[in-house]
Amino acid sequence: MGCLVRLGCLMVLAIAAVIGWFTRDRWVPARFLPHAAVSAHAPTWVPLSDSGASRARTALEKLSQPRGPVYQTISGADAASFVFRELAREMPPSTDSIEATVSGDELSMRANVKLSELGGADALGAVGLLGDRERVQFTGTMRVVQPGVGEFQMRDVKVRGLSIPHGMIATLIRRFERGHPPQGVDADALPVPLPAYIGDIRVANGKITLYKNVR
């Protein structure tokens, strides 16, 4: 009987271990899970689209109405299409394959860029490691600087997945920035034209909320 009891306990423990393994994503902290288990939370990159930019523009137009809503929340994909289409005008001429994503309170844009238009690989501190064209990723936040002007402030810039020192971001921007930025735009940011009636922008949980300037 003792052997049977011990065997039964071992079987229960084995079954519990199997159940625990297959449900580990429910109770094990994400930082302790293997890469395959957390890959589902990776950001979803989407190409910029005319339809997404149009939906964002429609939401903005509702805010312009005197009796319209005081705020509008739009999806990250639509907001990214609207915002980054404006930013794309500031990017080097060789830029193509632009994609965007929104994660938490940050927006990201990535594209293939000819590095010579960014000063070359030596200007990025990666001599011998980069090719003629590389994928460049910009990650940052949005804010309203003044009526009609917003900015995309870059927290991180990656070239082929490697972050460049933050102190180099302002220098990098000046290499391809067209003209002088509007007053109030930070050195590590790109200006974004906005309707003058937008008073504030909040990014959270992959969505963007735009508030009407009610003053």
Claim to verify: residue 33 and residue 54 sit in the same structural domain: no
- The total of structural domains in the chain comes to 2
Residues whose CB is less than 8 angstroms from the CB of residue 121 and which lie 6 or more positions away in sequence, other chains included? 115, 127, 128, 129, 130
For residues 174-202, b (16+ Cβ closer than 10 Å) or e, as one string? Answer: eebeeeebeeebbebbbbbebbebbbebe
Looking only at the bridges linking them, the beta strands covering 96-103 and 71-75 are: unpaired
- Give the per-residue pLDDT at 143: 92
Taking a C-beta distance cutoff of 8 angstroms, is the pair 155, 107 a contact? no
Write phi, then psi, for 204 (nearest 5 degrees).
-160, 140
Claim to verify: residue 87 and residue 180 sit in the same structural domain: yes
Give dist(CA 77, CA 49) in Å, integer: 9
Flag the least confident range among 117-126, 157-166, 174-183: 117-126
Residue 162 has pLDDT above 90, yes or no: no
For 93-120, what is the mean pLDDT? 83
Confidence class for position 13, pLDDT limits 50, 70, 90: low
Claim to verify: residue 159 and residue 88 sit in the same structural domain: yes
- Tell me the β-bridge partners of 200: 211
Confidence class for position 70, pLDDT limits 50, 70, 90: very high
Claim to verify: residue 61 and residue 130 sit in the same structural domain: yes
- Tokens 């590389």 correspond to 134
- Give the per-residue pLDDT at 124: 63
Q: Where are the beta strands (DSSP E) in the chain?
A: 46-47, 71-75, 96-103, 106-114, 133-146, 149-159, 162-163, 189-193, 198-204, 207-212
Claim to verify: residue 115 and residue 26 sit in the same structural domain: no
Flag the least confident range among 25-29, 74-78, 122-126, 133-137: 25-29
Claim to verify: residue 139 and residue 202 sit in the same structural domain: yes
Claim to verify: residue 15 and residue 63 sit in the same structural domain: no
Please give the full DSSP string across 87-100, using - where no structure is assigned: HHTTS-TT-EEEEE
Claim to verify: residue 66 and residue 89 sit in the same structural domain: yes
Domain of 28, in residue numbers? 2-41
For 93-114, what is the mean pLDDT? 86
- Give the per-residue pLDDT at 36: 46
**Across all residues in the chain, what is the average pLDDT?**
78
Residue 135 has pLDDT above 50, yes or no: yes
Kindly report, residue by residue over 168-208, the tens digit of the pLDDT.
Answer: 888 888 877 777 888 899 999 988 888 899 999 998 887 88
Claim to verify: residue 179 and residue 97 sit in the same structural domain: yes
- Give the per-residue pLDDT at 8: 54
For the record, the structure tokens of 20 come out as 């625990």
- Give the per-residue pLDDT at 199: 92
